[in-house]
Amino acid sequence: MTKLAMRGGAPVRSKPFTSWPMHDETERKALLRVLSSNNWGGYPSPNSEATAFGQAFAAQHDAEFGVCAANGTVTLQLALRAAGIGRGDEVIVPPLTFVATAAAPIYVGATPVFADIRPQDYTLNPEAVEAAITPRTRAVICVHLGASICDLDRLTETCRKRDLILIEDCAHMHGAKWRGRGVGSWGDFGSFSFQTTKLMTAGEGGIVITNQARFEKRLQSLINCGRREMLYEDADIEWLGHNFRITEFQAALLRAQLLRLQAQNDIRAKGYAQLDEGLSEIPGISVLEVDERNTCRTGYQYIFRFDSAALDGRTKQQVLAALNAEGIPADEGYAPLNRRHELLPEDSLHQWYDTTQHQPKFDDAGCPVAAQASQESIWLPHEIVLGGPEDVQDVIAAVKKVANNAGEIA
Ligand SMILES: Cc1ncc(COP(=O)(O)O)c(C=O)c1O
């Protein structure tokens, strides 16, 4: 009988998967180009590498403008500030996401309001958004999660009708297309992260894309200490901004990374389709739905589900431990933010809110679909498919072995 690796059997996978991030001579040359230019910093802002990258990245996503910034947390905050959102305003966010999505409204003094996700693909539910709208609502931040794109048709329609700003949090989705048009260009703003594990990286970094010139101007000013133009005289500071500029080294690295994004996304699309097919045949395992309007599939994480009852009542932690022992770097993903009271302890609220203000509501019973998703979902990092079909087959074989022998899990 097959023995699980956690019980002393041979693991399905004993060699590592493709390591991430990836680089070659293109990155090396780009870094040396900046090094020898002696023009290393973020100003004049935007500097030349940042300008070239911002334009190329925006064009790749069918947007007109791209403003680079320090990371994908501040890019969300910048989008909110550029849209004039702040104290007293409410911003609708999904609960199953990285903390930055809900933290960004808090940083600008606005209140995040959680709306549940859809069971079929774990993205923000447009009906839950409608139900969460109040007279204070000013914006929606939707998250293209894992490898699922939100229903951008419904969300853009709702935001247009209700006069709300739509910010797409695309931290997981570089290069994805919805009905042939780049993610991030459907809403008023698209926000991306270039942190180390993301689909493109400079170690850290972020970008906001937009099609609106007035927003681009504000974003450029906000990242450059509130200066009016590219200048650096103090007299040009017109409002309170931040130094959120990126360095020329980062921008040059990102220009190199952008060159191979599409080829890597093609491999991801094939790998994810192979996972869909292989995993959906395993009893007790199911995959998320892929919307047919997702015309260029990619994603930072491949997420699938297990049914504890079908797997001898095993918990997520037990299934994860069994998969990890088989050599698969699966992990638990996010816990719903609406249930994480510790994120905003009362004694720190005064930093962002006055006590009379409407404050974020943490709700243990709210967003049941997100709670269920966090219990049943298993997350795989994107690089696991970059090695090609044989690597993907190992993942499928390991999940099958664990599911078929769930009774053996310690
Ligand atoms: C959905 C989402 N939004 C925002 C961020 C924040 O990006 P950064 O780490 O660059 O600040 C992340 C990072 O993991 C993310 O996953």
Tokens of 256: 């190199």
Name the residue of 106, 145, 195 whose CB sits within 8 Å of the most ligand 1 atoms, as the mutation to test its pocket.
195
What's the confidence (pLDDT) of residue 234?
Answer: 64
Q: What's the pLDDT score for residue 72? A: 98
- Closest ligand 1 atom number to CA of residue 197: 14
Structural contact between residues 86 and 110, judged by C-beta atoms closer than 8 angstroms: yes
Locate the ligand 1 atom nearest the alpha carbon of residue 194 and give its number: 10
Is the minimum distance from the CB of 101 to ligand 1 under 6 angstroms?
Answer: yes
Q: How far is the CA of 171 from the centre of ligand 1 (A)?
A: 5
The pLDDT tens digits for 350-375 are 787 876 667 788 888 899 999 999 99
For 188, 315, 374, the CA distances from 333, given in Å and listed in that order, are: 28, 15, 7
Say yes or no: CB of residue 143 within 6 Å of ligand 1: yes
193 lines ligand 1 (CB under 6 A): yes
**pLDDT tens per residue across all 410 residues of the chain:** 579 999 999 999 999 999 999 999 999 999 999 999 999 999 899 999 999 999 999 999 999 999 999 999 999 999 999 999 999 899 999 999 999 999 999 999 999 999 999 999 999 999 999 999 999 999 999 999 999 999 999 999 999 999 999 999 999 999 999 999 999 999 999 999 999 999 999 999 999 999 999 999 999 999 999 987 655 566 677 888 999 999 999 999 999 999 999 999 999 999 999 999 999 999 999 999 999 999 999 999 999 999 999 999 999 999 999 999 999 999 999 999 999 888 777 777 778 787 666 778 888 889 999 999 999 999 999 999 999 999 999 999 999 999 999 999 98
The helix/strand/coil state of 269 is helix
Cβ of 191 less than 6 Å from ligand 1 = no
72 in ligand 1 pocket by Cβ < 6 Å?
yes
99 Cβ inside 6 Å of ligand 1: no
- pLDDT on residue 345: 72
The single-letter DSSP state of residue 124 is B
**Helices and strands (DSSP H and E) totals, the chain:** 11, 13
pLDDT at 233: 61
In this prediction, residue 349 carries a pLDDT of 75
Regarding the beta carbon of 206 and ligand 1, being less than 6 Å apart is answered yes
SS3 220: helix
- Name the DSSP class of 366: S
| DSSP string across 315-357 | -HHHHHHHHHHTT---B--PPPGGG-GGGS-GGGGGGT--TTS
DSSP secondary structure code for residue 111 in this structure:
E
Our answer on whether the CB atom of 77 is closer than 6 Å to any ligand 1 atom is: no
Q: What is the dihedral of CA 23, 25, 31, 37, to 10 degrees?
A: -160
Q: State the Cα torsion 149-150-154-158 to the nearest 10°.
A: -140
Question: If 0-12 CB within 10 Å is exposed, 13-18 middle and 19+ buried, where does residue 309 land?
Answer: exposed
Report how far ligand 1's centroid is from the alpha carbon of 351 (Å): 22
**What pLDDT score does 229 carry?**
65
Q: How far is the C-alpha of 196 from the C-alpha of 407, rounded, in Å? A: 37
DSSP assignment letter at 50: H
Looking up tokens 């005064």 gives: 350
Q: Is 98 in the pocket of ligand 1 (CB under 6 A)?
A: yes
* Other Cβ atoms within 10 Å of 62 Cβ, number: 17
Q: Does residue 71 have its Cβ closer than 6 Å to ligand 1?
A: yes
Asked if residue 398 lies in contact with residue 327, where contact means CB atoms within 8 angstroms, the answer is: yes
pLDDT value of residue 235: 64
Type of residue at 310? A
Give 259-271 pLDDT, tens digit per residue.
999 999 999 999 9
| Ranges of H-type helices in 224-315 | 248-280
Residues 328-349 as b/e (b if ≥16 CB within 10 A, e otherwise) read: bebeebbebbbbeeeebeeeee
Nearest CA to ligand 1 atom 5: 72
**Protein residue with its CA nearest to atom 8 in ligand 1:** 72
How much distance in Å is there from the Cα of 76 to the middle of ligand 1?
9
| pLDDT tens digits along 152-180 | 999 999 999 999 999 999 999 999 999 99
For residue 96, the CA-to-ligand 1 centroid distance in Å is 13
